[in-house]
Amino acid sequence: MAEVTHMNGLESCFQRGNNSLKVPMSLFRNNCGRLIARVKENANVSTAGSFIVLQGGVEIPFNDTDICWPFRQESFFQWCFGVEEPGCYGALDLANGTSILFVPRLPAEYAIWEGKLHSLEDFRKRYGVDETYYTDEIAKILKLKQATLLLTLSGQNSDSGLQTKEAVFDGINQFKVDNKILYSEICECRVIKSLQEIEVLEYVIKISSDAHKSVMHTVKPGVAEFQAEAAFMHYVYSVGGCRHVSYTCICGSGHNASILHYGHAGAPNNKVINDGDMCLFDMGGNYCGYAADITCTFPANGKFTEDQKMIYNAVLAARDAVMNAAKPNVAWTDMHLIANKTMLASLKSGGLLVGDVDEMIKVGLNEIFQPHGLGHFMGLDVHDVGGYLPGHPERPSAPGLRKLRTGRILQAGMVLTIEPGCYFIDCLLDAAMKNPDQSKFIVADELKRFRGWGGVRIEDDVLITETGVKNLTDVPRTVEEIEKWMAARKN
Ligand SMILES: [Mn+2]
């Protein structure tokens, strides 16, 4: 459907190479349309003279140098405008839906270092907006349009605790500004994905799935974890056009698989993978801003031991239970508990635990083995916004549930991860063994064998449909599928 207009080498859709997905700019226009309709419906403001004003991301210098961090657009701005450049602003006229993009007025020298200066008309065509001006004209243009009320974005991200950067520009004090209305309305819009957004998510999740499968074929004992990271990043970029990954790659092997966010600067995927290790690889590409977030866990040598099979199948059973139960009007908190109960029951069958599973949950044993939530919203941000908005369930306080990034009731059009896990984390196990309420459920002699063993996470990206769940992830998942895929390695 995407009509591609070439304007001085600029296109009206986002694409990388000839084989990656074309993302038409109408995706962003439609997002703006949804936002305007929602604000008009819910906010008690006169539409005449009211404008939504967003500030795009800015370039961040690397310390005191003249090098910048690789630029990634701010997500709310990306959602509305799909603009690749830093330093822009955007405005939406509530009265008539007009979209206005403000771009920086660049010095002539830009042409020497960064290339041809594009005209306002180039930008207008490229991003499919109605009007374009320079950022030093924002106040003037809004005055000409008789703007009286500006709705700006101010809110706290429920995952990071950080604040959005509210739009400011020279002359903003000439207008009445409301920063209360917009945040929850735009977050709510981002929670429900449009068909066009789903198409992009399907694409980036498919490329990331293929990249995981490719990585599984490069791994064997003797390969370093960072080589798996490198193989993934190469695949998603060279095949899929994903310049960025959505978060730092987590490539834990052996004991490192129990470190939930392994791969950070202090533990940079630098261990050599050993025979007998399980690999837990959590990686996702990013395309046109949209994220994937997939975890595959598999034995480095391609063949599960009995212990590896037992733990893996406990997590897989939890994942399958959620896949079968998740659908509209179901509470995400209930899905978390289904996953925990299924996994604890499997560990009990495997001889690691004894006693009643409901009693184990009451004393918080679920959080010992899975100290994170079942999953989270996904979209432009890997932990997408909207988890805890006014009018929806607040963060629960019970063990396990309190880790959830959302407690919401599921609705069609949501995209979430389903990522149950089972880990052997020394500090948590030490605490549990000292707590008689918890230790009575643990078979200490059996547990010893799993100290330092690592962990398993199985993470799929799913769309909630009218009737259930559509799994957008496509990787080997059962023990048999994984062993078969690993056996097809060429090396
Ligand atoms: Mn995740």
Cα(102) to centroid(ligand 1), Å: 34
Identify any residues that bridge with 91 across adjacent strands, giving them in sequence order. Answer: 53, 100
In angstroms, what is the span from residue 419 Cα to ligand 1's centroid? 7
DSSP secondary structure of 163-178: BP-----TTGGGSEEE
Q: How far is the CA of 173 from the centre of ligand 1 (A)?
A: 41
Distance, CA 346 to ligand 1 centroid (Å)? 23
- Output the CA 352–ligand 1 centroid distance in Å: 26
376 CA distance to ligand 1 centroid (A)?
A: 7
Q: Which pLDDT does position 491 carry in this prediction? A: 61
Q: How far is the centre of ligand 1, averaged over its atoms, from the C-alpha of 459 (Å)?
A: 7
Cβ(478)–Cβ(293) below 8 Å: no
Expressed in angstroms and rounded, the spacing between residue 256 Cα and the centre of ligand 1 is: 17
CA of 227 to the centre of ligand 1 (A): 21
Distance of CA 318 to the CA centre of its chain: 21
What is the distance in A from the centroid of ligand 1 to the CA of 461? Answer: 9
pLDDT in tens, the chain (491 residues): 333 344 444 449 999 999 999 999 999 999 999 999 999 999 888 999 999 999 999 999 999 999 999 999 999 999 999 999 999 999 999 999 999 999 999 999 999 999 999 999 999 999 999 999 999 999 999 999 999 999 999 999 999 999 999 999 999 999 999 999 999 999 999 999 999 999 999 999 999 999 999 999 999 999 999 999 999 999 999 999 999 999 999 999 999 999 999 999 999 999 999 999 999 999 999 999 999 999 999 999 999 999 999 999 999 999 999 999 999 999 999 999 999 999 999 999 999 999 999 999 999 999 999 999 999 999 999 999 999 999 999 999 999 999 999 999 999 999 999 999 999 999 999 999 999 999 999 999 999 999 999 999 999 999 999 999 999 999 999 999 999 999 998 76
For residues 371 and 428, is the Cβ–Cβ distance under 8 A? yes
Question: How far is the centre of ligand 1, averaged over its atoms, from the C-alpha of 282 (Å)?
Answer: 8
Residue 417 C-alpha to ligand 1 middle, in angstroms?
Answer: 6
* Distance in Å from the first CA to the final CA of the chain: 42
Distance 440 CA to ligand 1 centre (A): 31
Whole-number Å distance, alpha carbon 205 to ligand 1 midpoint, is: 13
Give the distance (Å) from ligand 1 centre to CA of residue 457.
10
| 252 strand-pairing partners | 280
Q: State pLDDT tens for residues 27-84.
A: 999 999 999 999 999 988 899 999 999 999 999 999 999 999 999 999 999 999 999 9
Could you tell me the distance, in angstroms and rounded to a whole number, from the CA of residue 418 to the centre of ligand 1? 8
Instruction: Specify whether the CB–CB gap between 154 and 179 falls below 8 A.
Output: yes
Output the CA 394–ligand 1 centroid distance in Å: 20
pLDDT in tens, 402-457: 999 999 999 999 999 999 999 999 999 999 999 999 999 999 999 999 999 999 99
The reply to whether the predicted model has a pTM over 0.75 is yes
33, burial (CB in 10 Å: exposed 0-12, middle 13-18, buried 19+): middle
